[in-house]
Amino acid sequence: MIADQLPAWQIVIPMLAAPLCVLVRNSTAAWVVAMVANLLTLLNAWALFVQIRAEGVIRYALGGWAAPTGIEYYVDIANASVILLVSFISSVVMVFAFHSVRKTVLTGKHYLFYSAWMLCLTGLLGICITGDAFNVFVFLEISSLSTYMLIAFGQDKRAFTASFRYLIMGSIGASFILIGIGFLYAATGTLNMVDLAQRIPDAESKRAVLVAFSFLTIGLMIKSAVFPLHGWLANAYQQAPLVVTAFLAGTATKVSLYVLLRFFFSIFGPDYSFGAMLLNVVLLPAAVAGFLLMSLVAIYQTDLRRMLAYSSVAQIGYIIAAFCIASQAGLTAGIVHIFNHALIKSALFMSVGCIIYQVGHAHSRSFDNLFSTMPFTVSAFIISGLGLIGVPLTVGFVSKFSLIGASMEKGWWLIGAMVLVSSLFAIVYIGRVVEVMLFRKSRMETPHSVGSNEAPLMMLVPLYVLVAVSIWFGISGSTTLDVAGQAARALLGGYQ
Amino acid sequence: MQILGLYNYWIVIVLMMAGLYIMIARYNLIKKMIGLGVFQTSIFYLYISMGKVTGGSAPILDDNVTQYSNPLPHVLILTAIVVGVATTAVALALIVRIHEEYNTIEEDEIKAIEAAEHDS
Amino acid sequence: MNPLWTLVPPLAVIPFIILFGEKQRNLREASIILAGIVLLALNDRIYSDVMSGQVASSGELKLLANFSLKLSVEPMGVMFGVLASFLWVVTTVYSIGYMRGHNEKNQTRFYCCFALAIACVMAAAYADNLLTLFVAYEAITLSTFPLVTHAGNADSRKAGRLYLLLLMCGSIGLFLPAIIWISSAAGTLTFTPGGVLSDAGLSKGAATILVCLLVLGVGKAAVMPMHRWLPAAMVAPTPVSALLHAVAVVKTGVFTILKVIVYIFGIDMVSSTNAAQWMLPLTAFTILASSIIAFTKDNLKARLAYSTISQLSYIVMAGLLATSMSVTGGAFHIVTHAFGKITLFFCAGAIMVAAHKKAISELDGLGRQMPITMSAFFIGAIGIIGLPPAAGMWSKLLIAGGSLDGGNALWVGVLMLSTLLNIAYLLPIPLRAFFKPPSSDISEISEAPMPSLWAIVLTAMVCILLFFFPQPVLNLLGLIQWR
């Protein structure tokens, strides 16, 4: 009964929570509603994941309308794991949000904040779960619009301009995706992904498919912030409330990357995307330039949030580079890094959130000897930072090891070497901050403004949950690698 | 002849480029929004003209009609219009707030203010 | 016995160190010494197990699909484990005197990181495969970083930056690619007698490049041009310089190189493909160049640091010569150099605490005020030089013999020349202290605190004892399976 309807519940729960948050009005009550909905979503995602692993692909006809007419939800191991990841990150950050929102978001608007969050979650989950190309666009816009709102909740007035710039870029990206889907429909006469995958080989020679492919590529590159189309990301991550950044860093770009995978591998198929269309000629230089340049740029940032934002663009470069390898090993490495990076980056942003909560700013040069006042937060930052660098026993090592292994298997030695070089940049930008936090003696003219003790427990616990998970999967990396490997097989194998 | 016969697509392309150009080239935020509107509308045209079947009637069931236009693109575009309206609403709300905070909606002036504040 | 147990004492003592903190310093340091003695007992047990022919290994922890973390017992590792745990006890005793005498801050953090580093060294010593060794290697770098920057001033932070950058750049940029290459060529990273690469069909050029990646990538072995971090790290408190930068950290580097050459490449492969042809001259250059640089340094710790660089290259060279005799000599040199150099560093620290002197030119006449320290310094110096009655002689002899075994007398010449340089830069120090008249009034200076003095005497004694009784170590090394 309920087990049959899991794919629908996945969307319905957060979607219902959104208006409910508005109705209750009270800040704490809205948080409780959002939290409960989030936990239910997570539970549902876990059940779905277990079900997929036991029974294989689920094709769920929404409202009972069968595939070509109605909208179909298509769940396999690839999107089930992304759904699980998104729900998990959202739940953890939601716990973290309670205190942080009270302090940083305008009083009286909290219920709107949580409502927008729930809508955003709905959108992100919907993008993953749907099997209908146009539906992807709709959910994409749901998540994007609520994201613009969430970013505009930032404390500084620059949040508004950051949000507006993201809105312009995001709308262009989404419109490009819409155009692409339109051309695909014109060429094949269907919007269902499974049908599309079947019909595209016959329509490959049509110019409409080529145009669709180009528009989709650019649109998805904007949405997932692939260098050089990443301009919106740094401002948005810096100006948004830290909870939002922590949430988005682990989910939004990751979901876009998943859509990219779905379109390039399942729908167009790797032979078309990377064979006929030479996608790697376009994407690989962008990816490599992205992770090298952006790691370099990150070194020179004085604002911790901006530094981490540029590092995110660099990490997306790794993921794209892994996709370009377009082999089983490459795709596995890319998917595993989507997962691992989401954990690390959310944890990093959450620890920055704790710091901002207590210190009031994020200028990395003035965290003199922060370790003595906030040892737990700083330790979490250091551990996650080591993960970002890719030190053994952290998740970062698992991803980098498999990425380099995959590129060597393909014979792309240079790519492997460049990944290592950019890891060295990561040592520099993380190391600089850590050095200040640990060893620089406090100078008297910059006393820590507010309280100089630890953040509340409700912020530290979720932070450490993420850190613990990232260490767990760093030590037993084969768990995630297995799932990623199955997902890669599912994507490479096309629809059954 | 074939090129002229595709006139609807030519219109779409002209509108699309015009909209994109306005969004990129204008500093005024409201004008940017107008550009976005033009851009999105051009996509709506693209879908709608795609659904037209030569000689087909409007897709309303009627005994006298044998051939209908494809109704699906229309339905899709109905959704897209809603999305477009929502986007415009959010954007305009943001512009109002930006105007309150910066007293201007010219992007170059906003950038100058941000740069000045950042340095101080 | 399961080698995993050796990780327990150093890790278990950390909560106690934090618990006792600065308030109960005696209890804190007693707990460390207790842990050290337990660790030494465990290692001794493993030693006797190995000598009686039992080999144990721990369970596996699967890290990636077909690579896992695992510990197992192997003669070279046992030697390294016993050495490091013995010196940990001695250094802790010494630290008590030094750290208190010097009024260092943040002693709790210091002892915690120290214990953590020792746990990592144990993991490195008993690593069953290259991945485990790499993980331990990186962990050592990270856990010793706070020790280098201990003072927290601009100098030490700069040194810490250099330390982290050079070691991490080397290991991630060169060593890790080598590991991934080996794993893709051989399909396994497990240390296997005779090596895993002999059947992998690597060309001579590929093997040569791999050796280069290894020797340069393992920055802890401080082969030039990757040596800059070692003199810079001398800003750390002296016990750190003594145990970590003369024994644990740097020896992990050369130990890694020896392990890889013996159990991954296989000595036959290295010698038959002549894969070390580019690196041997580099080690020879390092030996001579750093000896000459040491000669020009007036700062005592800096001189010792450059001496360490030169001695480490002996061991790397011994590994690259790839004969069973030279590798045995290299492994033995790990022990003899460790005792010699730690004695010298202890003395340098004692001089700093008691006389507040850092420069060699200020030491004139100090021998009368600090006779025990300076005598120990003399013994340590002849140990490094390789004169009887100190154990350094045996290891140098073995390396030279191994070089002749491989049919190459050139490297023997390098060793002899370097020995002469050793004499020139080390022996003048104690001679100055004993025979030159003091330049200023030094009558108020007396010996260093008692705990430090005991440690100095103990290590100096071992230098001599190993000359007369080298058999326990050599018997152990005799158990290495070459093929």
In this predicted structure, the answer to whether residue A233 has a pLDDT above a threshold of 80 is yes
Beta pairing, strands C67-69 & C61-64: antiparallel
**CA A67 from centre of chain:** 29
Burial class (CB in 10 A: 0-12, 13-18, 19+), C44: middle
In DSSP terms, C64 is beta-bridged to C67
A431 with C161: Cβ contact below 8 A? yes
Q: Is A130 within a domain?
A: no
pLDDT value of residue C384: 87
How many domains is chain C partitioned into structurally? 1
C62 with A476: Cβ contact below 8 A? yes
A161 with B80: Cβ contact below 8 A? no
Which residue type is seen at A428?
Answer: V
- A21 vs C125: CA distance, rounded Å: 58
Closest partner residue to B101 among A148, A157, A163, by Cβ?
A: A157
pLDDT value of residue A451: 44
Residues of B with CB under 8 A from a CB of A: 20, 23, 29, 32, 36, 39-40, 43, 46-47, 50, 72-73, 76, 79-80, 83, 86-87, 90-91, 94-95, 97-98, 101-102, 110, 114
In this predicted structure, the answer to whether residue A441 has a pLDDT above a threshold of 80 is no
Asked whether A398 and C61 are in contact (CB, 8 A), the reply is no
pLDDT band of residue A220 (cuts 50, 70, 90) is very high
Q: Is A79 within a domain?
A: no
pLDDT band of residue B119 (cuts 50, 70, 90) is low
In this predicted structure, the answer to whether residue A452 has a pLDDT above a threshold of 60 is no
Whether ipTM > 0.90 holds is yes
What is the maximal distance between C-alpha atoms in chain C? 69
C177 with A417: Cβ contact below 8 A? yes
A185 with B87: Cβ contact below 8 A? no
Q: Is C482 within a domain?
A: no
Closest partner residue to C165 among A386, A427, A481, by Cβ?
A: A427
H or E segment to which residue A327 belongs: none
Asked whether A117 and A147 are in contact (CB, 8 A), the reply is no
pLDDT value of residue A43: 94
User: Which range, A269-273, A423-427, C436-440, is most confident?
Assistant: A423-427
Which residue type is seen at A132?
Answer: D
Nearest CA-CA distance, residue B94 and chain A, Å: 6
Indicate the range of A25-34, A304-313, A357-366, A417-426 predicted with least confidence: A357-366
pLDDT band of residue A449 (cuts 50, 70, 90) is very low
pLDDT value of residue B1: 55
Q: What percent of chain A has pLDDT over 70?
A: 97
Q: What is the pLDDT of residues A374-392, one digit of tens each?
A: 888 888 999 999 999 888 8
pLDDT value of residue A12: 92
pLDDT value of residue C401: 86
- C29 vs C16: CA distance, rounded Å: 10
pLDDT value of residue A32: 93
Q: What percent of chain C has pLDDT over 70?
A: 98
Q: What residue ranges define each of the domains in chain B, with the CATH number in brackets? A: 2-55+69-119 (1.10.287.3510)
pLDDT band of residue A496 (cuts 50, 70, 90) is low
Tokens found for residue A336: 């595993």
- A324 vs A327: CA distance, rounded Å: 8
Q: 3-state SS string over chain B?
A: CHHHHCHHHHHHHHHHHHHHHHHHHCCEHHHHHHHHHHHHHHHHHHHHHHHCCCCCECCCCCCCCCCECCCHHHHHHHHHHHHHHHHHHHHHHHHHHHHHHHCCCEHHHHHHHHHHHHHC
Catalogue the long-range contacts made by A57-62 (C-beta closer than 8 Å, 24 or more residues apart).
A57/A496, A58/A6, A58/A7, A59/A131, A59/A194, A60/A5, A60/A7, A60/A8, A62/A8
- Spans of chain C, pLDDT less than 70: 65, 440-443
Q: What is the dihedral of CA A19, A22, A27, A32, to 10 degrees?
A: -20
Tokens found for residue A470: 């990232």
pLDDT value of residue A446: 47
Average pLDDT of the segment spanning A436-452 = 57
Residue A165: HSE in the Cβ half-sphere, 13 Å Cα cutoff: 22
Domain of residue C232 covers: 3-477
Give the residue from C275, B73, B27 showing the smallest Cα distance to A178.
B73
A148 with B90: Cβ contact below 8 A? yes
In this predicted structure, the answer to whether residue A68 has a pLDDT above a threshold of 80 is no
pLDDT value of residue A445: 43
For chain A, which chains pass the contact test of at least 3 CB pairs under 8 Å?
B, C
Q: Provide, as residue numbers in chain A, all residues whose Cβ is less than 8 Å from the Cβ of C177.
A: 404, 416-417, 420
* Whether C170 contacts chain A with CB within 8 A: no
Indicate the range of A229-233, A478-482, C446-450 predicted with least confidence: C446-450
Q: What is the pLDDT of residues C45-103, one digit of tens each?
A: 888 888 887 777 777 777 776 778 888 888 888 899 888 888 888 888 888 777 777 77
In DSSP terms, C69 is beta-bridged to C61
Domain of residue A305 covers: 300-496
pLDDT value of residue A218: 92
- Return the higher-pLDDT residue of A444 and A76: A76
How many domains is chain A partitioned into structurally? 1
- C470 vs C452: CA distance, rounded Å: 26
pLDDT value of residue C443: 67
In this predicted structure, the answer to whether residue A439 has a pLDDT above a threshold of 80 is no
A186 with B29: Cβ contact below 8 A? no
Mean pLDDT across chain A: 88
Q: What is the pLDDT of residues C12-57, one digit of tens each?
A: 888 888 888 777 778 888 888 888 889 988 888 888 888 887 777 7
Task: Tell me the backbone φ, ψ of residue C57, rounded to 5 degrees.
Answer: -145, 160
pLDDT value of residue B81: 92
Average pLDDT of the segment spanning A266-279 = 83
Q: Is A464 within a domain?
A: yes
In this predicted structure, the answer to whether residue A274 has a pLDDT above a threshold of 90 is no
pLDDT value of residue A23: 92
- Alpha helices in C297-359, H assignment, sequence order: 300-321, 324-355
Residues B46-72 as b/e (b if ≥16 CB within 10 A, e otherwise) read bbbebbeeeeeeebeeeeeeeeebbeb
- A383 vs A466: CA distance, rounded Å: 11
Q: Is A414 within a domain?
A: yes
